[in-house]
Structure 1
Amino acid sequence: MEPFFTFLSHYWWLAFPLMGVAGGAARAWEKNARGRHKRRLEILQAKSELKAAKTGAAAISPQASDATAGSSPLARVLQSHDDITARWLEYELDVGKMIAYPAMSDGRQPLTAAFLRAKRAADGLRPDSSTAVLTPEQLREYREAVIDYEAAFDVAERDARRLKDSGFTDAERRRLDTAQQLLRTAVDTAATPAERQLAYRRVREELDGLLSISDEAIDTLERRVALELPSHATERPDARS
């Protein structure tokens, strides 16, 4: 033990910077923990509001709630599942919405990541059809997963609409604004085919490196831009490299 105490007598001053490092790490951990706790509370609150809204709607308008009375409980859950996915696809397939609310397509955003996890969970429990035979426990588990899916989507959507393009630099925001303006020309039926094709190519150039746009979104945009675009206009970014 004597060498250890000798070391301490010579290097006692190291304790202060080490304490600072430890304190910084503790503060960072505490901040992350608070963030995770806040996100859990937001999702729990959204789930509570969602259940209350559905219960209230059924109480106010029983006929509306019975519109699908002929459907099985499983069919109604499947329909809810499809409705949420359709809302999500509006962001995934609409380049204009991607530009306006980029956080909805950014899996690095904590609430978007939580939504995507909830989506995977619901998709994993989804039966093949409304005629599938499920035990009461399986149906309950699937219904709860769909409720979680919808709540997580609502929270992520609210957060994305709050954030908008705040996560980008001034220069990047200008590029996003330019892309949004060009997009209007690209889908404007009053513009000439040449104007629309030029605007389309410039949209792709402005968004390159800023947003990750799926092939499906590009295909959807191309169908809106023109009946047929020249092959060089529809070429994928990875094909040019």
Structure 2
Amino acid sequence: MESLFDFLSDKWWLVFPMSALAGHWANSWRKAGDRRHQRKVELYKLRNQVHAAEKASVADVESLMAAHGATNKRWLEYELDVGKLIDFPLMTDVREPLTVAFLRAKREADGLRPPSAADMTAPSRVEAYRKAVDDFSVALDVAEREARRLKDSKFTGPERERLATARQLLKIAEDHAATPAERQAAYKRARRELDGLIVLPDVALAALEDKISPMIEPAVRPWDPQHR
């Protein structure tokens, strides 16, 4: 023990470099701890950013799906309303380039629509869907404006008279004050007047028939396949 003290008494000057070394080691340890803490903070922030980005992506797709649904609803107002189609026949006239363009844009948007917003996470798919929805909305706007501008002006005088007659007959067919026989006769005549003039989608006819059918029972429905 005395020899150790004798050694230290002779080497007292080593205290200073050893203290410096210890201080340097402690400082390095502290800096390493700071770097580990900083990396943890950065990783936490990165995870939060990724999570926020995923949430934003889902919200973005939900917004696109809502816009898509609103445009489809606008189209259905024509497709399900025979009266509107008589007033604006170009909306179902596939000879019209603008009508073809919006129907093509609709198919494109419908084909890209995901089952749910969470099913579409790839940015490229989101952007493709966004473009398709925008194209569909714009194409419908253009076709609608043209259809409302032209109305039935592309038809001849006699054809416009037939359209006007069909419009009046459909009002009778939908009139609850009319008798079942009157409504049935009006519907059959309206179909004859429209035959060859405008294309009535099956869904439009089904919607019309569902609307007037309760009032013409138990009479035979004019659209019954057994009585056509």
CA distance in 2, matches of 1:186, 1:81: 33
Conserved? CA contact 1:193–1:226, under 8 Å:
no
Structure 2 counterpart of 1:162 = 149
CA distance in 2, matches of 1:176, 1:212: 12
Structure 1 counterpart of 2:186 = 199
Structure 2 counterpart of 1:15 = none
Structure 2 counterpart of 1:178 = 165
Q: Aligned partner of 2:138: which letter?
A: A
Residue 73 of structure 2 corresponds to residue 111 of structure 1:
no
Residue 55 of structure 2 corresponds to residue 72 of structure 1:
no
Structure 1 stretches lacking a partner, 5+ long: 1-68
Residue 117 of structure 2 corresponds to residue 124 of structure 1:
no
Displacement of 1:134: 2.3
CA distance in 1, matches of 2:124, 2:202: 38
Match of 1:233 among 210, 219, 222: 222
Deviations 1:188-240 (A, max 9, x none): 1121222111111111111111122122211111122131554450146xx84
SS at match of 1:131: helix
CA distance in 1, matches of 2:220, 2:181: 14
Conserved? CA contact 1:112–1:156, under 8 Å:
yes
Q: Aligned partner of 2:109: which letter?
A: A
Conserved? CA contact 2:173–2:182, under 8 Å:
yes
RMSD of aligned residue pairs (Cα, Å): 2.0
Moved over 2 A (4+): 228-232
Deviations 1:133-162 (A, max 9, x none): 321121111111101110110010000001
Structure 1 counterpart of 2:81 = 94
Q: Aligned partner of 1:233: which letter?
A: P
Aligned residues: 170
Percent identity of equivalent pairs: 53
CA distance in 1, matches of 2:149, 2:110: 27
Deviations 1:85-125 (A, max 9, x none): 11101111111011000000111111111111111111121
CA distance in 1, matches of 2:59, 2:90: 36
Displacement of 1:130: 2.0
Q: Aligned partner of 1:193: which letter?
A: P
- 1:201-216 matched pairs, under 5 angstroms: 201-216=188-203
Conserved? CA contact 2:213–2:221, under 8 Å:
no
Q: Aligned partner of 2:222: which letter?
A: A
SS at match of 1:165: coil
CA distance in 1, matches of 2:73, 2:96: 21
SS at match of 2:120: coil
